[in-house]
Amino acid sequence: MMIKSKSLFSLGGLLLVVIGLASFATACKSEKPEPQPGNFITNSIGMKLIYVPAGDFSMGSPPEEKGRQDDELLHKVKITRAFRIGMTEVTQAQWRTVMGSNPSNFTGDDLPVEKVSWKSAVAFCKKLSETEGKTYRLPTEAEWEYACRAGVTGPIAGTGQIDDMAWYDENSKERSQTVATKTQNTWGIFDMHGNVSEWCGDYYSSDYPEADVTDPIGPSEGKYRVIRGGSWGYFEPSCRCAARSSAPPSYQLKQTGFRVVMEIEKK
């Protein structure tokens, strides 16, 4: 009897193992693989959003970089959560669909929206979040530079040539241009080196941390908000990956717009 019971127990245990392995295999098959950098989705207003993986990078610039400023201390940054970022700056057509108006100095559906304050950009993100049922916001400064570099350590991403990548003072004819008409970077993102400069979520500080940081969001308070990226009116040195500027959040500048980040829900 003891042997018979032991045999039944063994068979029962084996059956449970088989069922468990089958369930695990089914669960693995149902899990979607992580998207590749550059994968994009399109939302309800036609905005394409590029997948940016979690990862590490060096933020700022080395002392020998041409055009470097004192507020670009090179430091290590870890981004722990993947996100999606606008393939282009928010266009005037997209802005009008959400906000019902167009504040821009240069007008055209496929031109980037500009003359929007930081506060107005945040309001756009809030309305878009309500429409889409997803969390949209301005990128942090670290997310912005990470996405701009797309794995590149030099001053200009993509081809490394400013005229390939950007509309700036030398080629813009003193105005903004249709989005996505220059070369995209390695992750498929356009115009980060120049067209209109872009608001970020952070308050500005001239002092970067010296130690390694994880998911930085900038100072807790301040008078100015970070602006990143080159613009149609900027000189070449101000179009570099690491170049920084700032303005009061109420300012409406004809060379400044923004792009959005869509947060990816945790599994």
Using one digit for the tens of pLDDT, what is the confidence trace for 148-161? 999 999 999 999 99
Which residue range(s) make up the domain with 145? Answer: 34-263
Burial readout 212-242 (b: 16 or more C-beta within 10 A, e: otherwise): eeeebebeeeeebbbbbbbbbbbebbbbbbb
Whether residue 47 lies inside any domain: the answer is yes
What pLDDT is recorded for position 33? Answer: 85
Which run of H or E residues covers position 152?
none
Cα 195 to chain center, whole Å? Answer: 16
In the predicted model, residues of the chain with pLDDT beneath 50 are 1-11, 13-29
Structure tokens at 14: 């084996």
CATH code of the domain in which 39 resides: 3.90.1580.10
Whether residue 143 lies inside any domain: the answer is yes
pLDDT in tens, 204-256: 999 999 999 999 999 999 999 999 999 999 999 999 999 999 999 999 999 99
Whether residue 24 lies inside any domain: the answer is no
Task: Say how many domains are in the chain.
Answer: 1
